[in-house]
Amino acid sequence: MAITLHRCLDAAEHAQRLKGWQQEASQIEAGVFSGEIVDVSSHEVRLFRESANLGLYQQMHFPECQWHLVTPVRWPGAPLFDAGTVTVLPSCEQFWSVAPSHYDLLVVSIDRGRHAWLGRHEHRLRRLDVPAALLNQVRGQWQSMTDYLRHRADRAPLPPALQQSLIQQLEESIELLLCDTTLVGEPDVANYRTRRYIVDRCQALIRSRPDDPPSLMALCGQLRISRRTLQYSFQSEVGQSPVTYLRALRLNAVRRSLLHDPTQTLADAAAAQGFFHQSYFCREYRRLFQEAPSATRARLLEIGR
């Protein structure tokens, strides 16, 4: 059994802390980031709880040998995860989501050899039809487990008997949740897929031309949609305007570039993502991350010494 607790003050670092998950996170809300992951795993099952104070755009590839079940403790105002159900993540090369500020998610992973019925329509996002009382009971147990581990993080390791008890309770709660549960499809599937496709294609087009990002009108022209449809898709799926959201992704790309190589000049790092006006870049970077890009670079250079 392995128990780990990670607390991070940078979204990119936060994304790398979840062992086995290939993730990239971009901060899309202004402020000083603070995230936490409580992770409990054995050979058979895994439970982790992830939370952060600011909204994130996340790209991820899940471990393919497991089913991944998600239920939020808190997921304010966003449509992807519903507090009244359990979501089964799809099997896909890459999955992206936008997490709202102050989100708090519980995720359970189980071996694919168990509950094979979870594989129906596995390339789609699916939901479990779980009685409310049962879901509240199981989610409350998972929440209590992770609260306990979080509060004793700085104390001595758990005795083996207590570790075994935790895993046994986790196993029993999973079986209780899945013993009499059925899969249901996505709500509003056609509209949901269309909106996701529009946002996804815009992100891909921006990434393909980082030093010369297309304008919103150019994006509309390439996707053959109206400005209103573009605006609605972004507001529905990510809760922000296209301009604000796509600019935040580019600023995060600059920050990741500095994390990778803080010896490069700020002008070069910014220009690689299409920011050629330095005062504008510095102003928007400071607004999003609450520190100047020069402060980020100086801090990273100091760490690297």
pLDDT tens digits along 103-160: 999 999 999 988 888 988 888 888 998 889 999 999 999 999 999 998 886 677 788 8
- pLDDT value at 188 more than 80: no
CB-CB neighbours of 260 under 10 Å: 11
* Distance, CA of 199 to CA of 216 (rounded, Å): 12
Q: Looking at the DSSP assignment, which residues form a beta bridge with residue 52?
A: 35, 103
DSSP E strands, the chain: 2-8, 22-27, 35-41, 45-52, 56-61, 66-74, 86-88, 95-99, 103-111, 126-129, 182-184
At 226 the pLDDT is: 92
- pLDDT value at 189 more than 80: no
| CATH 3.30.450.20 is the classification of domain 189-304 | no
- 83 and 70 in contact (C-beta within 8 Å)? no
- pLDDT value at 198 more than 80: yes
- 10 and 16 in contact (C-beta within 8 Å)? no
At 67 the pLDDT is: 94
At 186 the pLDDT is: 58
Altogether, the residues listed in the chain come to a count of 305
Average pLDDT, integer, range 3-28:
92
- pLDDT value at 237 more than 90: no
- pLDDT value at 274 more than 80: yes
- Report the SS3 class of residue 88: strand
* Distance, CA of 143 to CA of 224 (rounded, Å): 45
Tens of pLDDT, residue by residue over 31-71, are 999 999 999 998 889 999 999 999 999 999 998 899 999 99
* Distance, CA of 215 to CA of 235 (rounded, Å): 18
Quote the tokens at residue 9: 């003050």
Of 102-111, 175-184, 217-226, which range is least confident? 175-184
At 262 the pLDDT is: 93
- 299 and 255 in contact (C-beta within 8 Å)? no
Handedness of CA 278, 281, 287, 292 (dihedral sign): negative
- 36 and 106 in contact (C-beta within 8 Å)? no
At 44 the pLDDT is: 86
- 14 and 23 in contact (C-beta within 8 Å)? no
At 86 the pLDDT is: 93
Spell out the SS3 assignment of 30-75.
CCCCCEEEEEEECCCEEEEEEEECCCEEEEEECCCCEEEEEEEEEC
For the chain, what is the mean pLDDT?
90
* pLDDT over 90, % of the chain: 61
